[in-house]
Amino acid sequence: MTSERPLLEVNGLKKHFPIFGGILGQETAKVYAVDGVSFTIDRGETLSLVGESGCGKSTVGKSILRLYPVTDGEVYLAGDRIDNLPAGRLRPLRRRVQVVFQDPFSSLNPRMKVRDILAEPLINFGIVRGGRALTERVELLMDKVQLPRDAIGRFPHEFSGGQRQRIGIARALAPGADLIICDEAVSALDVSVKAQIINLLVDLQDEFGMALLFISHDLAIVEHLTHRVAVMYLGKIVELADRRTLFAKSHHPYTRALLSAVPVPDPTAKRQRIILTGDVPSPINPPSGCRFHTRCPFVFDRCRVEEPLLRSVGEGHVSACHLDHVPGGQVVPMAG
Ligand code: SF4
């Protein structure tokens, strides 16, 4: 029944955090962290969720993982609804959806040896019981993330940042997840180590076929591993396209501004830098109309009053902007 559906379907996801204040401690405002986000991920696909810090991308990941209860919307995994699962029925979800966080040092228990860190999910999910089979499985995971087998007796602090992230990836691989959410998983690493971890993720995806939701503030990083990219701004997706289209023919002014900051490998190539002025507005009181209008270099009257909805601007390419794209890189107002 479910084989034709995408692995992950997120429909109209909202996550609002109440703010309490006053003498009675009543709700005085809301943080509209995620405000109506929809996307799908197919089996074996990588979708990158990109945007500045505070845009809600990590909250999307944590809502899918059920680390936060969702405010509204629906999330399906292989056709099964998971956003409303009672707490006692989350176990299968925990096995099928794993996460790799930004800071491996704080996400790995410093008092556990690597052997125990990797054995824990294998035992908890009943994959192996113990004994030699467990050790073999742990050693195999070490092989897969290119760490030496004899390091399983060490503690996390005895590894470098990149090696710790490899341990985090091995732990996520252990239960045979269908989807791994990488939440700024390479952001804290040096440039060369970042590239190694990204190459490792690509190789592991080729071998095991899991899907990745790759959450990052850096478009330059995702270019090398993603199939599609969704750009978020202030709680909403403003553009979504396959990688090639997004990097070559982006439509939304915000995406263009992000892309203009991506370094170009060819030193003779010129790219006009678009500098966004001002800070990202508060998600407590987002701007009317287009949420990007306070910073958009192309803003016009309609943008301040009418919210642009995501609409098709090409095959598999949607953008939430009142402007139409003109080949050659210019942007002009749409009729109507
Ligand atoms: Fe800019 Fe208007 Fe498009 Fe929003 S709708 S991105 S303000 S041009």
Cβ within 8 Å of residue 258, ≥6 positions away: 50, 51, 219, 231
* Residue 104 banded pLDDT, cuts 50, 70, 90: confident
Which residues are CB-neighbours of 101 under 8 A, at least 6 positions away? 107, 168, 183, 184, 185
Domain span holding position 284: 8-97+217-333
Q: How far is the CA of 57 from the centre of ligand 1 (A)?
A: 21
Query: Which of 43-47, 220-224, 305-309, 331-335 comes out lowest in average pLDDT?
Result: 331-335
The answer as to whether 250 is a domain residue is: yes
Cβ neighbours, 10 Å, residue 221: 23
Q: What is the DSSP string of 237-298?
A: EEEEEEHHHHHHS--SHHHHHHHHTSPPS-TT------PPPSPPPPTTSPPSSSTTTTT-TT
Is the pLDDT reported for residue 329 higher than 70?
no
Residue 303 belongs to a domain: yes
Enumerate helices (H) and strands (E) in the chain, giving the number of each.
11, 14
What pLDDT, on a 0 to 100 scale, did the predictor assign at position 252?
A: 95
State the virtual CA torsion across 74, 79, 83, 88 in degrees, nearest 10.
160
CA–centroid distance, residue 226 to ligand 1 (Å) = 26
pLDDT score for 251: 94
Residue 331 has pLDDT above 60, yes or no: no
Closest residue by Cα to atom 5, ligand 1, is 321
pLDDT higher than threshold 90 for residue 334: no
Non-local (6+) Cβ contacts of 32 within 8 A are 14, 16, 234, 235, 283, 284, 286
Q: Locate 250 and state its tokens.
A: 């982006």
Residue 297 lies inside a defined structural domain of this protein: yes
The region of weakest confidence among 15-24, 72-81, 261-270, 274-283 is 261-270
CA separation for the pair 197, 222 (Å, rounded) = 12
Determine the atom of ligand 1 nearest the C-alpha atom of 331: 8
Query: In the prediction, which pLDDT does 330 show?
Result: 45
Name the residue among 311, 221, 291, 240 with its Cα closest to residue 55: 291
Ligand 1: residue whose CA is nearest its atom 3: 321
How many C-beta neighbours within 10 Å does residue 263 have? 6
Instruction: Choose which residue among 232, 252, 293 to substitute to test ligand 1 binding: the one with the highest number of ligand atoms within 8 A of its C-beta.
Output: 293
Alpha helices of the chain — where are they, by DSSP H?
57-64, 91-96, 104-107, 114-124, 131-144, 161-173, 191-208, 219-222, 243-248, 253-260, 301-305
Residue 179 belongs to a domain: no
Closest C-alpha residue for ligand 1 atom 6: 321
Residue 110 lies in a domain: no
Phi, psi (deg, nearest 5) at residue 114:
-55, -40
156-175 pLDDT, tens digit per residue, is 999 999 999 999 999 999 99
Residue 149 lies in a domain: no
Structurally, how many domains does the chain consist of? Answer: 1
Task: Report yes or no on 160 lying in a domain.
Answer: no
What torsion do the CA atoms of 101, 218, 205, 108 make, to the nearest 10 degrees?
Answer: -10
Phi, psi of 29 (to 5 degrees): -165, 175
**Given this model, what pLDDT does residue 325 score?**
63
Closest CA to 79 of 42, 34, 125: 42
Cα(253)–Cα(100) distance, integer angstroms: 31
- Position of tokens 């987002």? 286
In a domain? residue 15 = yes
Q: Tell me, using a 6 A CB cutoff, whether residue 323 lines ligand 1.
A: yes
Read off the CATH number of the domain in which 275 is found. 3.40.50.300
Report pLDDT for 2: 46
